[in-house]
Amino acid sequence: MTKVRVFLLTAALVAAGAAEAGETIQANALRMAGGSQSSRFTVTLDRYSSDDERAMWREAFAAGGQEALIARWQEENPRVGTCSFSQTLGYQIRAAISAPTENGGRRIVMATDRPIAGFELMRGTHSQDFPIGWIQIEVDAEGKGEGILVGAAELVVEDGRLVVNTYGSEPVRLMGVTVRTKD
């Protein structure tokens, strides 16, 4: 299990800055585990999560952890966008925030409840404890940067900070990230 420290999230969930609505994010996804593989990765964001949504999700997470957060998402069915790899069906993005960075760019964090495969349920695998899909990128003022994608993540709080634990190996690296406003 790999831990990805997410220092931004606590503050960002409290007071994320306004960001452009309607953005397309493209990147080259590089997976090193089990031999290198690459693919084009695209995110289409229709909007960012509202202050009210973030407040409800913080409340749910504080009350019951990631299970309560996922239950809230499944009850409300929020959709802020989609993400997909080349030539694949996409996944709904449930939450997205954008916050400015010190260098004039911004950090964009997105999350979703990932589908749990039938074999995971039948076998009761440990991967069921990692029900979140997590994307985190950082771009400069021109909208160029890099990031990570965690396909199976567990959200926990350690020392007052949100930590994203990954199931398996290193996160997928997102390289050559570009963010542009949709026309």
- Give CA torsion, residues 53, 3, 133, 27, to 10 deg: 110
CA distance 97 to 135: 11
Count Cα atoms within 13 angstroms, Cβ side, for 176.
10
The domain of 28 spans: 2-181
Domain count of the fold of the chain: 1
CA distance 112 to 134: 7
Give the residue-averaged pLDDT of 48-76: 90
Show Cβ contacts of residue 74 under 8 Å, excluding neighbours closer than 6 positions: 113
Instruction: Give 28 or 128, the one with higher predicted confidence.
Output: 28
pLDDT value at 7 more than 50:
no
pLDDT band at 2 (very low <50, low <70, confident <90, very high): low
CA distance 105 to 182: 18
Lowest mean pLDDT among 3-12, 69-78, 136-145: 3-12
Among 6-15, 81-90, 112-121, the range with the most confident prediction by mean pLDDT is 81-90
CA distance 12 to 179: 19
One-character DSSP codes across 101-157: -TTS-EEEEEEEEPPPPHHHHHHT-GGGG--EEEEEEEE-TTSEEEEEEEEEEEEEE
The pLDDT tens digits of the residues spanning 91-150 come to 889 999 999 999 999 999 999 887 644 444 445 454 567 788 889 999 999 999 999 988
